Structure 1
Amino acid sequence: MNYQEIAKQLIPLLGGEDNIISGTHCATRLRLVIDDEAKVDKNAIEELDGVKGAFSSSGQFQIIFGTGAVNKVYEPFAKQLGFNTTSQSSDAHKEAAKRKMNPFARFARMLSNIFVPIIPAIVASGMLMGLLGLMKTYEWVDPSSGLYMTLDMFSSAAFIILPILIGFSAAKEFGATPYLGAVIGGIMIHPGLLNPWGLTDATPEYMDLFGLDIALLGYQGTVIPVLLAVYIMSLVEKNVRKIVPNAIDLLITPFVTVILTGFITFTAIGPLGRLLGDGIITALDAIYSTTHGIAGLIFGGLYSTIVLTGVHHSFHAIEAEILTKMAGNYLLPIWAMANVAQGGAGLAVFFRTKNKKTKEIALPAAFSSFLGITEPVIFGVNLKYRRPFIGAAIGGAMGGFYVAFTQVTSNGLGLTGIPMFAIAQDPLNYLIGFVIATASAFLATLLLGWKEE
């Protein structure tokens, strides 16, 4: 491909230089904030060499090129438009994209920005938990041995200090000092508080604070309380900084921020957040455990449609709360079935289509969905012809029903498709669900058919 020429052709099809507010790219897509998307010629863009699909989501117009190609297109594209490629420019792009979102999508994106950087730590702990489970089940190592106890500490560390990780990431997203967010998270898991992690009948002591009985119970493994606490902290810090002279800002602002947020957390935010988190988990668990797979059928069938809205980014917070309170994350296997079903539908399109460009896109896009990256196959293939997208929803529902019925769970979050085998607690039933979702979507897509130009 002539990447210089593709970049040159893109600009007029996007409505000209004045219509492109800012741009950046991720692993597979060019992400652009457009002033007026009515001026964008989407069909002509999709016909360009190398383009695997285009769609509007999360306040951005996104063009799929695929791994490796997208950065080669972006380099001449940014140069022609005079874009600055520094981190400051990236932050400005994020702010521009936020302004184009509706409030609900903005909230979902905010949660995603907080949790996505934490996912590697949770994945590592989840894989270690899986390894420990195999060691215990097949008696590879004595549970009282030093090796087992050491790996056990390694596997639980990320969940024990989760409030610190969330505190740092959330403060950064809320525009506050990240290290103060980490301090608030640290306060919530202080050794002076009873650690409820792994305890079922924890009975904390109480202290008298301003006439209130405060339980000395830590927040290890919680999500919602620390999110609320750090949000309040960000408001406190910003308002204190407005009235404190610059000369003493470094001394006064952190001190006042930590002490005020700490008191508010112990007296109000913490207990309220714990109650809210427990309520969400109890409700979801009741639906999941009493419907015998129906929840998987519904969630698996609807998940890809939810992806189109961008709201799925908010699910990380719920999954993290489930993961720390229950035996495993039972939502992720259902999302995984919806994702691989998109790949099954994409394969059906590949085998049946006579359109050369569609055939070139469908196979690699379907394979990428089996690795957990679904945007190319959803927006570049299935949604373009509509009925394959419906076929994928049917496959996701069938696979979701099976993994929910057999109670497949995971030790982490963020990984779907083939990579999820590393954190699946029941790899055999996960594999069966994988095959059911893919095959059902493949057959449903062929039976539904679609019209091609």
Structure 2
Amino acid sequence: MMDHKKQAAEILEAIGGKENISAATHCVTRLRLALVDEGIVDQEKLNGIDAVKGFFSTNGQFQVVIGQGTVDKVYKELIALAGIGESSKEEVKEATKGKMNPLQRGIKTLADIFIPILPAIVTAGLLLGINNILTAPGIFFDDQSVIDVYPQWSDFANMIIVIANTAFTFLPGLIGWSAVKKFGGSPILGIVMGLILVNPELLNAWSYGEAVKEGTVPHWNLFGLSIEKIGYQGQVLPVLVASYLLTKIEVFLRKKVADSIQLLVVGPVALLVTGFLTFIIIGPVTFAIGNGITDGLVAIFDHFAALGGLIYGGIYGVLVITGMHHTFLAVDIQLIGSTGTTFLWPMLALSNIAQGSAAFAIMAASKDDKLKGLGLSSGISAWLGITEPALFGVNLRFKYPFIIAISSSALAGLYISASGVKANSIGVGGVPGIFSIVAEYWVPFLIGMAIVIIVPFVVTYLYAKRKKDV
């Protein structure tokens, strides 16, 4: 049995003692620490502690990978030894806020908004994958789908698509809830604001282009001002900006309006003002910006698909280190909302698999039991879409596994982009990701998977055996 108190004491010593801790919390697998000075951490000593499977610094937090089921026990012993109280994740984030530059704060804000809604989006993506298997022709039968051959399954598939599409149909409601919560307002008002933007009374955003061609876009006439009566299904920017404005108005009113009438004034005024401004200014402007970003990305990958895949496939692992990968979650969602598919997400999935394969190679090449265990657990985690343990616990530690992994990912990205591979949803960013791929692109995606499974493992293993450093 592991002595959790001893492990906590060793960790405390390695990170510079209790005087170096401003606040501490933990998540499912990691200690999340706000340190006074990360420069005094004894990394070699920290690496040698049995409970520690890796560590890294991100967004001003120093995170120590312990593992599920153990981290909470080590955390309790750590805060007892340090003489500090338990902190929430928000308190630790607040303690590290001053260490981030404006770009880092912006990326963190996006991450804090989109990560809470990710389970709903990933679940929807997996369900869409099941629907793909049932409805796509040519998977099990030549030029026919499962429901073509077995019509009794058609209603089953239809029910799945209704359940799966809900998260994407009402995406602004999810974003509104999370964004207003992040900005400091009432989450319920954020949900309402998001749902306002997809009200069935409005022209569906997916029908907007055709309506423009036909000249049938409906309008409101506000005292001579003509406003397009359109919804913002699948759009990210309109609801983000509207949520920020809504929160600012709500917070302002709560400070000015007497408590006794806040229920009658704050919500109605905040929603009414934000709603009018969104339909008149915010919506049209951000809709144009969002579509411009989408059109620009699509044009780049239409004309330079292989080069785009090579670059994005190669740099995604680097983006994870900096935390900037969270910004591309919003881009993927915008692409899916505007075009129905995304060509970026498949490369994300392959990048994660490549990092896991490199970690597995270190496990196979190593003679150290702790490193073998870390390589196995972090490799599995990466293949299931969570790469931080493999990145910071194994691959960056030895450097060459990381370089080999991102090189392999770049090669696979080049191939699948040149093949036109697309996903119709965001799913599990690893091996199960194939279920989110449009069925007609399964074969090239599987070839891409073979590249990032075989190449990083073989090359990393051979190099590790030659170098003899594991």
TM-score by length of 2: 0.89
Amino acid at match of 1:67: Q
Q: Distance in 2 between matches of 1:448 and 1:178?
A: 52
1:372 aligns with 2:385: yes
Which secondary structure state, in structure 1, belongs to the residue aligned with residue 280 of structure 2?
Answer: helix
On the 8 A contact 2:346/2:421 being kept in 1, the answer is yes
Q: Distance in 1 between matches of 2:134 and 2:373?
A: 44
1:27 aligns with 2:28: yes
**Could you tell me which of 265, 270, 273 is aligned with 2:278?**
265
On the 8 A contact 2:427/2:435 being kept in 1, the answer is no
1:160 aligns with 2:161: no
Q: Distance in 2 between matches of 1:338 and 1:148?
A: 31
Query: What is the deviation of 1:147?
Result: 4.2
1:350 alignment partner in structure 2: 363
1:109 alignment partner in structure 2: 108
Which secondary structure state, in structure 1, belongs to the residue aligned with residue 205 of structure 2?
Answer: coil
On the 8 A contact 1:167/1:184 being kept in 2, the answer is yes
Query: What is the deviation of 1:380?
Result: 1.3
Could you list the structure 1 runs, at least 4 aligned residues long, displaced by more than 6 angstroms after superposition. Answer: none
1:442 aligns with 2:441: no
- Aligned-residue Cα RMSD (Å) equals 2.3
Query: What is the deviation of 1:451?
Result: 6.8
Query: What is the deviation of 1:8?
Result: 1.6
Query: What are the equivalent positions in structure 2 for 1:4-403 lying under 5 Å apart?
Result: 4-85=5-86, 89-136=88-135, 137=137, 138-140=145-147, 142=151, 146-197=155-206, 201-202=210-211, 203-403=216-416
1:452 alignment partner in structure 2: 469
Moved more, 150-159 or 179-188: 150-159
Q: Deviations over 1:20-65 (max 9, x none)?
A: 1111122221111111112221221111112111211111111112
Q: Deviations over 1:82-119 (max 9, x none)?
A: 55447xx3321222233332221221121122112222
Q: 1:144 to 1:196 in 2, by over 3 A?
A: farther
On the 8 A contact 1:394/1:444 being kept in 2, the answer is no
Q: 1:259 to 1:146 in 2, by over 3 A?
A: same
Q: 1:142 to 1:84 in 2, by over 3 A?
A: farther
On the 8 A contact 1:59/1:101 being kept in 2, the answer is yes
TM-score by length of 1: 0.93
List alignment gaps of at least 5 residues for structure 2.
138-144
Amino acid at match of 1:44: K
Aligned length: 451
On the 8 A contact 2:126/2:427 being kept in 1, the answer is no
Query: What is the deviation of 1:126?
Result: 2.3
Query: What is the deviation of 1:131?
Result: 2.8
Q: Distance in 2 between matches of 1:68 and 1:451?
A: 33
Give the share of equivalent positions with the same residue, in percent.
Answer: 39
2:141 alignment partner in structure 1: none
Q: Distance in 1 between matches of 2:198 and 2:340?
A: 21
Which secondary structure state, in structure 1, belongs to the residue aligned with residue 63 of structure 2?
Answer: strand
Which secondary structure state, in structure 1, belongs to the residue aligned with residue 32 of structure 2?
Answer: strand
Which secondary structure state, in structure 2, belongs to the residue aligned with residue 54 of structure 1?
Answer: strand
Q: Deviations over 1:351-379 (max 9, x none)?
A: 33444543332232222211112111111
2:142 alignment partner in structure 1: none
2:140 alignment partner in structure 1: none
Q: 1:155 to 1:144 in 2, by over 3 A?
A: same
Q: Distance in 2 between matches of 1:172 and 1:14?
A: 33
Moved more, 438-447 or 381-390: 438-447
Moved more, 415-424 or 380-389: 415-424
List alignment gaps of at least 5 residues for structure 1.
none
Q: 1:451 to 1:306 in 2, by over 3 A?
A: farther
Moved more, 119-128 or 280-289: 119-128
Q: Distance in 1 between matches of 2:223 and 2:82?
A: 60
